[in-house]
């Protein structure tokens, strides 16, 4: 049973929106070559995603996890298997 199985549809949608926001911010940064505005959006989106994960799933951001602004391949097609973990 996945931690996501216990979420209401609205909660799951909030989590998915936050995840899409971070994914889009990372993609925009990569496509634009980076910049203060896109890096700021990545940081804001990452904070929002971890806040929602904490609220809905009780997950805390691991201290060892690198910031999304430091990881060039934060999301890849191969990583999609972890989206539902």
Q: How far apart are CA 13 and CA 18, in angstroms?
A: 9
Instruction: Note down pLDDT in tens along the chain; length 85 residues.
Output: 777 888 999 999 999 999 999 999 988 888 888 788 889 999 999 999 999 999 999 999 998 888 888 765 555 565 555 565 5
Q: Where are the domains of the chain?
A: 3-72
Token pair of 64 as six digits: 């060892």
Contact criterion met (CB below 8 Å) for 72 and 30: yes
Q: How far apart are CA 48 and CA 70, in angstroms?
A: 17
Q: How far apart are CA 54 and CA 4, in angstroms?
A: 13
């Amino acid at each position: 049973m996945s931690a996501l199985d216990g979420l209401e549809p609205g909660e799951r949608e909030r989590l998915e929106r936050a995840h899409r926001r971070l994914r889009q911010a990372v993609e925009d940064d990569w496509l634009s070559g980076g910049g203060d505005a896109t890096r700021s959006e990545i940081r804001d989106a990452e904070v929002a995603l971890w806040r929602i994960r904490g609220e809905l799933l009780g997950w805390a951001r691991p201290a060892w996890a690198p910031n999304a602004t430091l990881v060039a391949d934060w999301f890849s097609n191969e990583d999609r298997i972890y989206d539902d973990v």
